[in-house]
Structure 1
Amino acid sequence: MFTSQRTRRLAAGLAGASALALALTACAGGTSGGDAADVTEITVVAANSPWVEGLKTLATTYKDETGVTVNIEAYGNEQLNDNYKVKLNASSSDFDVMAFQVQDVMREFSRNGWLADMTDYVTSDAEWNWEDFQPAARDAVTLDGTVYGVPVMTERQIVYYRADLLEAAGLAVPKTLADLEKAIATLHNPDGGVYGIAMRGSRVPLVTQLSSFLYSYGADFQDKDGNASIDTPEAVKAIEFYGDLLSQYGPPGVTNMGWVEASALFAQGKAAFYIDADSQAYTFLDPANSSVVDTVGFAQFPEGPAGSKFYNIVPQTVGINEFSKKKDAAWAFIKWATNQENTTWLLANETVPGARLSAWEDDAAVANFPAGLVEIVRNVADHGVGHDRPRLEQVAAAREIVGGPVITAIEGGNASDAAASANTQFQDLLDSEK
């Protein structure tokens, strides 16, 4: 069992993957030439996160090794996109390395020409080894064949369960979605104060968690050509499955629940299962906030008709400002900070859930993580999908649309008709960006 210190470190590492924020400030000195050997100073703008805290320590080492001063500026979420847009609209070269949230801004920033093309950088050094990064993470930072960043934190959907309840009922940990439904139905006991499952049921928040159900049924938000596809037979079955779980075995008022409310129920011991991001593991491992510290288990997302396919996203990546006059120096630092040695150090010392496969294979480095979670991550290469929401710039509007059919399913309506209507609206939104 975790010590309180380890729990706090895990909390910082995993919670940071869900609470990232960026902003920009003043410029750094140094030469303006593109030759990395001529540069004495670079500026990194990053999120307030465990990764950037670890980076502050690594930056000292980097200066000792190279003589290059690394100025790190980290800020809160409120300043994130507004400050980027002000600086980058003005083609500012005040900063060199820029951290950003892939699924929220990468499409907009790349369209505006604000992100440097890093494809040649990441593929040109066999020793640094781009192939060592999780396939889904590499996919997440790649758009239309162009790589725009290096993933530094990852997050995936998993199953949390009450091991004591499964054991008492003689149930194995579900390996398939069909087994999951049977276990949830068996353990659903509202009169005894335990619901079969707690999960996001609020219209917009639920969309990211629906994603793994879609993938495991052989569906997605969009097809391979980028067109809306939430009305396919496979998508409708996934939507109905998600809705049925919550309508039949979820708590009252589930359509008003996001992750905060749903995870609280599980932490209080009032749900047998909870399915959401692994960044929430700390919630259930902190004795001050959880009554299931000694009974919580972690399992890979179950197999559906298309197998076990779950999101493995990148909540923070580091790229290069297209307007920087020190791109080569920026890449030299990114390459160093994300090499195998430093990624493993961050995993071990700052519990930063990085994207390198080799780091997760280091038993000493993962000692602060639950064994069940480590096993899931070690197997992620065959199962991970690099997005957990529709892929377009107007993602907030898309989530509002896509969540509608699930609400219909939860409330017992015709999910197929709702999906068909929503698909038309979603396609209109996609077409507006062409």
Structure 2
Amino acid sequence: MKMYWRALMGATALCATAGLASAQDNVTLTIATVNNGDMIRMQGLTDDFTSQNPNIQLEWVTLEENILRERVTTDIATQGGQYDVLTIGTYEVPIWAKQDWLVALDGMPEDYDADDLLPAVREALSVEGTLYAAPFYGESAMVMYRTDLAEAAGITMPDSPTWADIKAAAEAMTDKDNEVYGICLRGKPGWGENMAFLTAMANSYGARWFDPDWNPQFDSEEWNAALTDYLDLMTNYGPPGASSNGFNENLSLFQQGKCGMWMDATVAASFVTDPENSTVADSVGFAQFPNKEGLDNHGNWLWAWSLAIPASSQKQDAAKAFIAWATSKGYTELVAENDGWRAAPPGTRTSLYENPDYQAEAPFAEQTLTAINAANTQKSSVQDIPYTGGQFVAIPEFQGIGTAVGQQFSAALAGQMSAEDALAAAQSNTTREMTRAGYIK
């Protein structure tokens, strides 16, 4: 098979989440999650949950993004039962739910308020109106840039820049002698690493993965222009070793003051503006993801790192209690009490963006919500396409195909092959796999 795949919470909420787990005593939940900052923060706050649910212990398996995907996909596809709670995204949820691999998240506490979830995110995590994963945080993509460097270089960043604006800014802000690079972008191979960014960039150039007959389109002018410009930007204005850099590596570089600009997930905004961890926290501006001049498509992606229960878990009540806690309004308030509203998990609840305390502390809130609302996962390209998905193609085979293409493009960034050769290899390999899978007759 190819699908390897509190602020305290109120007393009512506490009783409700505890009630979910009352039928199962003295259990240990094994939770597989990604090593992103929001997830690490959650692990540090779980005493709030275990103090209210003393019968539930938590065991964490925290992994780098690509490894997490590989392990949870293999486990769920084989019904291995190794994990009780999975951290998965908008790509996996509908595919796995249709395979009956996930537990429906009905019967959540009354005050969980699923209707407060942002409509786009809730829809992406539902099948036929039923929620199969609860969003821990949601995101689109945007530009984060150093306002001090831009001012010094005489650059004014538009709210909605073009790629030409980005190139001019990258050139003006680059100072390699002082280890300041004009632009930092993902280069680490993986369908959810470099290909998440490059698919969004290609979409903004008018490219598409497949035509309506599922023929790969890497031999198109649009893909050639997108990849060529990406390599040009990174070769001339990017940091060394960029082919090994993913989200976390670029976050670290930006926080250290080594990036003039970084285009990536909107969730990063709270970390680059965190004065305890970012040396440039008071000098960060935000703009929408770029578009190609003349094309009204900013390549906005839509993603939510979400918590789900595999059907193979024998501890589903306890797992649901944990998920209800971790993705609740009460958890958001808990984060705010401990780390400030700026650190609240973004992109999941309408109430957060209506909260004046959050608006006052999070200068990126408006840009984030704009980006999420602008994402069109039903038609990510200006051309006709047979698939859905923003920065991915929502078919089971994409996990393998996207990673293989990502390896070719990462090799090109490392100087091991040309853009033309990488695109030719992507075209050939993807055609072969799509034919093998029966999409191409």
- Please classify the TM superposition score into its range, dividing by the shorter chain length: 0.5 to 0.7
Contact 2:88 2:308 in 1 (8 A): no
Listed as ranges, the matches of 1:178-197 within 5 Å are 178-190=164-176, 194-197=180-183
Q: Would you say the 8 A contact 1:51–1:153 is kept in 2?
A: no
Structure 1 residue aligned with 2:155: 171
Q: Cα distance 1:76–1:163, how it changes in 2: closer, same or farther (>3 A)?
A: same
User: Does residue 210 of structure 1 match 2:210?
Assistant: no
CA–CA separation in structure 2 for the residues paired with 1:396 and 1:258: 18
Which residue of structure 2 aligns with residue 358 of structure 1? 351
Paired AA for residue 307 in structure 2 = V
Q: Distance in 2 between matches of 1:271 and 1:87?
A: 38
Q: Distance in 2 between matches of 1:221 and 1:347?
A: 39
What residue is the counterpart of 1:9 in the other structure? none
Distance 1:206 1:37 in 2: 40
Output the TM-score relative to the length of structure 1: 0.68
CA distance in 1, matches of 2:323, 2:246: 35
Structure-2 change in CA distance of 1:109 and 1:310 (3 Å)? same
The separation in 2 between residues aligned to 1:234 and 1:83, in whole angstroms, is: 34
Residue 199 of structure 1 contacts residue 274 of structure 1 at CA under 8 Å; is this kept in 2?
A: yes
Identity of aligned residues (%): 28
CA, structure 1 residues 57+128, in 2 after alignment: closer, same or farther (shift >3 Å)?
Answer: closer
Structure 2 counterpart SS, 1:426: helix
- The alignment status of 1:71 with 2:56, answered yes or no, reads yes
Distance 2:271 2:21 in 1: 46
Report the equivalent of 2:31.
46
Alignment equivalent of 1:157, drawn from 114, 118, 141:
141
In the alignment, the residues of structure 2 paired with residue 179 and residue 358 of structure 1 have an alpha-carbon distance, to the nearest angstrom, of: 34
- For structure 1, the 5+ residue unaligned runs are 1-34, 64-68
Residue 296 of structure 2 is aligned to residue 306 of structure 1: yes
Cα deviation, 1:173-213, whole Å, max 9, x if unaligned, reads 23222322222233334456543222233444422222331
In structure 2, do the counterparts of structure 1 residues 327 and 311 end up closer, same or farther at CA, with 3 Å as the change threshold?
same
* Residue 147 to residue 393, structure 1, CA distance change in 2 (3 Å): farther
For residues 213-362 of structure 1, the aligned pairs below 5 Å read 213-221=201-209, 228-259=216-247, 262-281=250-269, 284-285=272-273, 290-304=278-292, 305-315=295-305, 317-322=306-311, 338-339=327-328, 341-342=329-330, 344-346=332-334, 348-349=336-337, 351-354=343-346, 355-362=348-355
Deviations 1:57-78 (A, max 9, x none): 25655x6xxxxx7625231236
CA deviations 1:322-373 (Å, max 9, x no partner) are: 356887897687567645x335425524634141122233132466x541x2
State the AA in 2 paired with 1:212. A
After superposition, give the CA deviation of every residue in 1:304-336 in whole Å (9 maximum; x if it has no partner).
Answer: 423333333222x23344356887897687567
User: What are the superposed Cα offsets for residues 239-289 of structure 1, whole Å, 9 maximum, x if unpaired?
Assistant: 233222113332455445445654454444343222233454566456676
- After TM superposition, the score normalised by the length of structure 2 is 0.67
1:399 aligns with 2:403: yes
Q: Name the aligned partner's letter for residue 378 of structure 1.
A: L
Report the alpha carbon displacement of residue 149 of structure 1 after superposing the two structures with TM: 1.3
Q: What is the rounded CA distance, in whole Å, between the counterparts of 1:329 and 1:136 in structure 2?
A: 28
Could you tell me whether the CA contact under 8 Å between 2:161 and 2:287 is conserved in 1?
no
Count of residues paired in the alignment: 385
Aligned-partner Cα distance in 2 for 1:310–1:46? 30
Counterpart amino acid of 1:322? Answer: A
After superposition, the Cα gap between the structure-2 partners of 1:215 and 1:165, relative to the gap in structure 1 and judged at 3 Å, is: same
1:422 deviation in Å?
0.7
Q: How does 1:17-28 map to 2 (within 5 A)?
A: none
Give me the whole-angstrom Cα distance separating, in 2, the residues matched to 1:257 and 1:128: 37
- For the Cα contact (< 8 Å) 2:94–2:125, is it kept in 1? no
Separation of aligned partners in 2, 1:227 and 1:307? 22
- Quote how far apart the aligned CAs of 1:157 are: 2.9
1:374 is matched by which residue type in structure 2?
A: A
